[in-house]
Amino acid sequence: MQAQDSSPTPLPVPKPKKRLDMVVKLALGVLVMSFTLIWGGMYLSRPDRSIPPYSVGSQVGHIVAMHVPHDTTNQGIETLVKRLRKVGRLTHHFAKMKVQPTTPGDPGGWYRKMVVYVFDDYGWAEPEMLNKYLAGDAEVVRKYEQVMRGYYRLQDQEEEGGLGPMPKTDVASDATSILFKGLVTDPIPAELEYEDFSISPM
């Protein structure tokens, strides 16, 4: 009678894990980096919901015509005008708001002088209308000022902003509500304290 073999059955030796090929590692790295860049770009370019969406319809020299949605309230226009003031006070660099340099090459700065008109009808912000207005076309000038929703003016150290058409004299009409007027060197109001803000293009 044969004696049974009592020695333990040897366990299977695990195969060593295959290391990732260098090409696979590179591909995974590129994939992760791509998603990171896309997410970062979306985060940095996210619209600022504290102001209405806007676009620059046209610009002639230091004159800029902006457009906002038709249903934008007066409060929305006010926040946009005050944002222009904030940029003028804190950075004086309106490129963040899609405005091309208004005084390029000027030793006093690229945005030493600027006038912004705000409309809620894109047609009035188009280059054709702005050029007719600047040329003094009487009919266009009259209507242009009727439909203007807001304005911002910067001249050297002086600034002014309001709702309605921009006053042509020191006395504003009943259609205009002046929000602020003074020097950019005046003490910064509490509501203009620095915060990180982004543009909100349409």
Is pLDDT above 90 for 170? Answer: no
pLDDT at 115: 96
Helices (H), the chain: 22-44, 74-90, 122-125, 127-135, 138-147
The DSSP code for 6 is -
Contact 90, 97 (CB under 8 A): no
* Other Cβ atoms closer than 10 A to 149: 23
* Other Cβ atoms closer than 10 A to 173: 11
Of the CA atoms within 13 Å of residue 91, those in its CB half-sphere come to 14
Q: Model confidence over 6-62: pLDDT tens digits?
A: 666 666 666 666 666 777 777 777 878 877 777 665 544 545 567 899 999 999 999
Domain extents in the chain: 20-48, 55-192
Return phi, psi of residue 158, to 5°.
-95, 145
% the chain with pLDDT above 70: 76
Q: Model confidence over 148-164: pLDDT tens digits?
A: 999 999 998 899 999 99
pLDDT at 102: 94
Q: Model confidence over 21-33: pLDDT tens digits?
A: 777 777 777 878 8
Return phi, psi of residue 31, to 5°.
-60, -50
Ordered DSSP codes for 66-83: EE--TT--HHHHHHHHHH
